[in-house]
Amino acid sequence: MRFVALILTGGKVADCTAGAELLEQLCHCDIRHDDWGYDSNAIRQQVADQGAMGNIPPKTHLKWRNGFSSFLYCNRNATERMFCRFKDFPRVATRYDRSAANFLAAVCTPAIVSYGL
């Protein structure tokens, strides 16, 4: 697994807010596995417009739930393992950097070291 796109947002910004910009940078695929934070109608429509099927777990407070396959979603753990690997780098795990540019550099460094980007 390798990074395809990376966007740095503010600490209190919802995932679905930056999701539209992030989806524009991704390559074409048949099924897109996203985290439940990306469960919004706008994100689902954008994924459908790209010709893919969105396999996004529904938020718990919603009455109407979209189709979701937990069998297909189990492959997403590779993404979670990739982010957990970053916790081995103290500078990223502790978030000591005050500026966004420095923190983005601190995130990109483990990506280069771990995945040879």
Using one digit for the tens of pLDDT, what is the confidence trace for 47-70?
A: 888 888 877 777 776 666 667 777
Tokens at 21, concatenated:
């910009």
The structure's pTM equals 0.62
Is residue 3's pLDDT more than 70?
A: no
Instruction: Read off the pLDDT of each residue in 2-11 and give the average, rounded to a whole number.
Output: 74
| Sign of torsion over alpha carbons 21, 105, 98, 85 | positive
Q: What's residue 63's pLDDT?
A: 65
CB 107 within 8 A of CB 89: no
CB 57 within 8 A of CB 68: yes
